[in-house]
Amino acid sequence: MRPLVLENRVSEKFSSKDCPENCKSDNIECFEENLKLLKKEHHSSCMFNNQDSLVPDLDFTFDNEGNLSGTFICNRTHQGYDDMVHGGVIAAIIDASMAQCLMGHGVVGYTTGLSIKYRKPLFIGFESKLETSIESVHIGSLFEMKCEITQNKKRVVQAKGRFFKIKHKN
């Protein structure tokens, strides 16, 4: 693995201290404030950010390291095969969690790639948990992300994503 250059130093893994924008400290309120501001400025009409959200009870929170977690329960409107959440809905939830994790770090980025492994069915009507984190940054602009969804304490979906940082007014 080639090391990445970030702010004139070499690093292989991303940590919240590497964040190129606002959050230089491990502060949950900072991550959440960044997310709130950037969602309003760049993501206000997203299908996950309005009153008629695709998954109304999807709620994201940050930990001190800047990792994003959330819980949700999908209903019959999210169904693909009988009693299972449609893979496209799962992909949209993952993509939204990755974008919002980046926003918490003061970064606005567009998805350039998303790879998903559906290991087991995600069932309708049961609580699901997701964990999303930034894995690495290349040349300060290409962010590699990962997300994992569990249901009944079993890993059901794993994903890796890449996001390209765009310039924004903040």
Distance from C-alpha of 74 to C-alpha of 155, rounded to nearest angstrom: 16
> Parallel, antiparallel, or unpaired: how do β-strands 4-6 and 68-73 relate?
unpaired
pTM of the predicted protein model: 0.80
128/170: higher pLDDT? 128
pLDDT score at 127: 95
74/12: higher pLDDT? 74
Q: What domains sit in the chain, N to C, each tagged with a CATH number? A: 12-166 (3.10.129.10)
CA proximity to 18, closest of 28, 35, 4, 32: 4
DSSP 96-125: HHHHHHHHHTT-EEEEEEEEEEE-SPPBTT
Which among 49-53, 65-69, 154-158 has the top mean pLDDT? Answer: 154-158
The pLDDT tens digits for 154-164 are 999 999 999 99
Least confident of 15-19, 80-84, 120-124, 146-150: 15-19
pLDDT > 70: what percent of the chain?
Answer: 74
Distance from C-alpha of 58 to C-alpha of 93, rounded to nearest angstrom: 9
pLDDT score at 14: 56
